[in-house]
Amino acid sequence: MKIVTYNVNGLRQRVSQHGSLLRLLTSLDADIICFQETKLSRRDLSVDLTMAEGYEAFVSCTRTTNKGRSSYSGVATFCRVKSAFFSNEAALPLEAEEGFTGLLECPRKREIIRDFMLEAPFEEEDLEITDDDLLKVDSEGRCLITDHGHFVLFNIYGPRAENDDEERCRFKFIFFKILQRRWEFLLSQGKRVFVVGDLNIAPAAIDRCDASPDFEKNMFRKWLRSLFKECGGPFFDVFRSKNPGRKEAYTCFSPRVGAEEFNYGSRIDHILIAGPCLHQQHDTEDHYFLYCHVEACDIMSQFRRGNSGNAPKWRGGRKIKLEGSDHVPVYVILRDVPDLPTHSTPSIAVRYIPEVRGWQQSIVSFLVKGQVSHHRLQNNLSSDSNARETYDECEISSQDCSKIEQDIIANASQHSSDQCFSNLNSGQKPNPSLNEDSSLTFSQKKTESLKYLSSDCTRGVKKMTRNNTCSQLTLKYFFKQPKIVMTADEETLKHDLTFPKADPGEIREETSQSTEQSDLKNEYANHSCEISGTSIDIHDGKRVSEPCFPVKRENDNFAVQEWRRIQQKMKMTIPICKGHGEPCVSRSVKREGPNRGRLFYVCARAQGPASNPEANCGHFQWGSAKSKDKHK
């Protein structure tokens, strides 16, 4: 059996990087895969992010609405199985639980819930812990527990806390202390406990690239080392047990300084194991699970960002963006793990979550909806005297409008031609002036018909847009060139204003028709028609179309010139680092204090050991004092 832990730094991004969730899981090639920092809320759960063929998934999402914490953390455990609902494989858990305090709501009672309950308030190292504290540490989706029969697996995403952030330090302290109580309780019941995930703690100086002399004095590093067997605790650090003394073995790299390039990081992703082996008879105390069943444990360095030899070098994050997580996976291979009795998939599996499988609807809901629609249609028919504003008309699309428009024109043309043929058959001689009047009447009829149809279709499209949930404009819409859209009246007017070129060899003898056409042309020539941002003028019988966007074009040109000016000014003001003679990159102070918001410049190269001349030279320079005032 192979177990992998991987901080994906956004499950959606990793799925997109690999093309699908199944490809991501296949690339890790493990029976149990534990993801941290999925950054998925409950409403973000979908089939493409949580379900893959051959895997059962369990997720824990953040429940808090605090600023900066919503859709921030989250963990997920994927178990590879051969059967979807029933299996005897140890990879499919017998039970599963979201959270670790036992206080989160669950669909039904389970034994894994009843084995541990905390009664608050209680004290932990002179710190009083209340029910609110327990719910708070369990509301960020940082723990998922699965019971695999032979062992209980904790998928953990430990909180990060700066030394000067008292609130988060208290949160982190309570988080790990309550977890420790849960582990100790399970071990007292004779169970084996596996703890995997990103704990956000590097245990010793060997696990950090730039460890200071007092690095190991940190309270959380002391706490983690107290859990290890060599310090009297119950757990084995599996990687360090299998790779003692191995240096520069890191699992996390800062994305802000391109630390992957020179393997300049820290080891904060761990696999801890506590408990006896699976053998029924053992006489010595050395029969631990680690010694009898752990075959190998290592870091999957091939997943490190920019690992390929032809990858471009990091230059302050300006030109390229390395694809992948800022963590690398860690795996452990177990041997001699027997199967379990046939058991079913736990009820909190993703396949049973309503956000993924959909909310079940009864047949009554569909009948009710149909009756409402029919009632609405009848009301519209009875209340509105105009038949074109009924419910059916609202669903006419723009293509339907154009089709109906052609039908109206064809019917009108057919009516006009039928009238002319009837006049000829009756022996009446067609009058040129009368023929001109009939064509004008046809044009007026067509204009009126299309005007009515256009307004009606516009109302229908507007109603459809309001009812359509996908009608929100995307960012690309604002960068598209504006399109010239004409209404039916404007299209008719354009058609009437477009005069055919006369054949030079053709001599018109109908004086009255020529005079009326000339008058009509002169009448329209005195008007200026604006059609959707385009002006149409008639000069010497020709149609000239000119765009009417002088203000918008002027603003665009001004914005381009202003942006070029800013870029030129930035190039002139960016300092040069002293170590390499290259342009620096700008940063700003984000921590609270007197310098918050102040601009500074550093070397653009990736962070690395000080002995490496190709790494960051450590150049630092404050920006102008004005930038500090602007950020206040």
Active site residues: 157, 198, 327
Dist CA 34 CA 113 (whole Å): 21
* Residue with tokens 């696999």, as numbered in its chain: 271
Q: Where are the beta strands (DSSP E) in 8-74?
A: 32-36, 55-60
Between the alpha carbon of residue 575 and those of residues 585, 587, 618, the distances in Å are: 9, 13, 14
Helix axes 219-226, 166-188, angle to 10 degrees: 10
DSSP letter string, 62-110: -----TTTTTT--EEEEEE-SSSSEE--TTS-SEEEESSSS-S--SS--
Q: What is the secondary structure of 368-393 as a DSSP string? A: HHHHHHHHHHHHHHHH-S-GGGSTGG
- Token look-up 């084996």 returns 192
Instruction: State the number of CA atoms in the 13 A half-sphere of 8 facing the CB.
Output: 29
Q: How far apart are CA 55 and CA 21, in angstroms?
A: 10
Residue 200 counted as an annotated binding residue: yes
Q: Rounded to whole angstroms, how far apart are CA atoms 393 and 461?
A: 10
The answer to whether 616 is annotated as binding is no
Phi, psi of 136 (to 5 degrees): -65, -45
- For residues 78, 83, 89 and 91, what is the CA-based torsion angle, rounded to 10 degrees? 0
| 309 CA to centre of own chain | 30
CA distances from 162 to 165, 170, 200, 497 (A): 5, 11, 11, 74
Residues 6+ apart with CB under 8 A from 134: 101, 103, 118, 120, 174, 178
Is 283 one of the annotated binding-site residues?
Answer: no
Determine the Cα angle at 176 with ends 206 and 204, to 5°.
10
Collect all residues with Cβ–Cβ distance below 8 Å to 261 and sequence separation of at least 6. Answer: 306, 313, 314, 606, 608
Residue 399 CB coordination number (10 Å): 8
Strands 534-539 and 529-531: antiparallel
Q: What's the length of the chain?
A: 632
Q: Tokens 């005007």 — which residue?
A: 451
Residue whose structure tokens are 């995930």: 197
As to burial, measured by CB atoms within 10 angstroms (0-12 exposed, 13-18 middle, 19+ buried), residue 611 is exposed
Helix (H, G, I), strand (E, B) or coil at 542: strand
Question: Do the Cβ atoms of 534 and 486 come closer than 8 Å?
Answer: no
Q: Quote the CA–CA distance of 91 and 493 in Å, as a whole number.
A: 73
Is 327 annotated as belonging to a binding site? Answer: yes
Bond from prior residue into 583 cis (ω within 30 degrees of 0): no
Please tell me whether residue 321 adopts helix, strand or coil conformation: coil
Torsion angle of C-alpha atoms 285, 236, 30, 97, degrees rounded to 10: 90
Paired residues of 80 in beta bridges: 55
Residue 423 annotated as part of some ligand binding site: no
| β-strand partners of 35 | 6, 76
Tokens of 506: 């053709």
Cα–Cα distance, 96 to 100 (Å, whole number): 11
Which residues belong to the annotated binding site for Mg(2+)?
Answer: 7, 37, 198, 200, 326-327
Which residues belong to the annotated binding site?
Answer: 7, 37, 198, 200, 326-327
